[in-house]
Structure 1
Amino acid sequence: MPILSHNPEGLFPPYRNYSHATEIRGDARLLIISGLNGYLADGRTMPDSFEEQGEIIWQHIGTILRAAGMDYSDLVSLRTYLADPSYDEANVRLRIKYLGDHRPSSTVVCCRLLDPKWKLEVEAMAAK
């Protein structure tokens, strides 16, 4: 199943590890991952730092992908909610760490999150 990135001329160049659009061709399984936060497996404990919460979230994404027979390279779309714009650089570093050269479609939104302890929340879609 081909997954194609679309970054056509005439649009500004994509920056910071994403593509403007991602196309999935042929028969595919689509995995939609709900927004994840930085809770540990007990569902109550969460570290205070953005980086630690982000690491936990990306590890949760990896666990879900593996459960579906997929990996990070199967991600086609990410939506990240940041509690503060100052977290953007650390967020980009996490995306690069877990995605390498893979560039899914991506949106980052800065907003107040449901719980003031949360520094970020990430939802994702993967296809295979």
Structure 2
Amino acid sequence: MTIIRHNPDAVFPPYSNYSHAVEVRGDVRMLFISGLNGYRSDRVTMPESFEGQAEQIWQHLGTVLRAAEMGYGDLVSVRTYLAAPEYRAANTAIRARYLGDHCPSLTVVCSQLLDPAWKLELEAVAAR
């Protein structure tokens, strides 16, 4: 499998942990990860803070990736839904901690989430 990042000079420079487009070539396994929220494994409780929920979600994402014998470096696309724009900086910092220098395609959307207690939701696509 070959992953090619497309960041043309004619488009604005990529943000942190971001590629404008990620192309996957060759024989690959694709993993489409549904929206993850901050519930703990008991499916009842979740951290109240944005940071707590974000950490829980990235940990859940890692667990799902490992179940498919993949890791954060196999992510080709990540979409984050924030409940409010004030979470932007914390979201960026936490994402950078988990992705390091890996740069999948990214989208961040501010929207009303299904449950008012949710501060964010994250969905992703991984390939290997």
With structure 2 as the length reference, what TM-score do the two structures score?
0.99
1:26-85 CA distance string (max 9 Å, x none): 010000000000000000001100000000000000000000000000000000000000
In the alignment, does 2:75 pair up with 1:75?
A: yes
- Residue 96 of structure 1 is matched in structure 2 by 96
- Residue 42 of structure 1 is matched in structure 2 by 42
State the distance in 2 between where 1:63 and 1:17 align: 20
Q: Hey, which bits of structure 1, 4+ residues long, moved more than 4 A?
A: none
Secondary structure (helix, strand or coil) at the match of 1:19 reads coil
- Residue 84 of structure 1 is matched in structure 2 by 84
In the alignment, does 2:13 pair up with 1:13?
A: yes
Q: CA RMSD in A?
A: 0.5
Quote the offset at 1:4 in angstroms.
Answer: 1.1
State the distance in 2 between where 1:118 and 1:2 align: 36
Structure 2 segments unaligned to the other structure (5+ residues): none
Secondary structure (helix, strand or coil) at the match of 1:16 reads coil
Secondary structure (helix, strand or coil) at the match of 1:66 reads helix
Quote the offset at 1:16 in angstroms.
Answer: 2.3
State the distance in 1 between where 2:71 and 2:30 align: 13
Which residue identity does 1:113 align to in structure 2?
L
Which residue identity does 2:87 align to in structure 1?
Y
Percent of counterpart pairs with the same letter?
66
- Residue 105 of structure 1 is matched in structure 2 by 105
With structure 1 as the length reference, what TM-score do the two structures score?
0.99
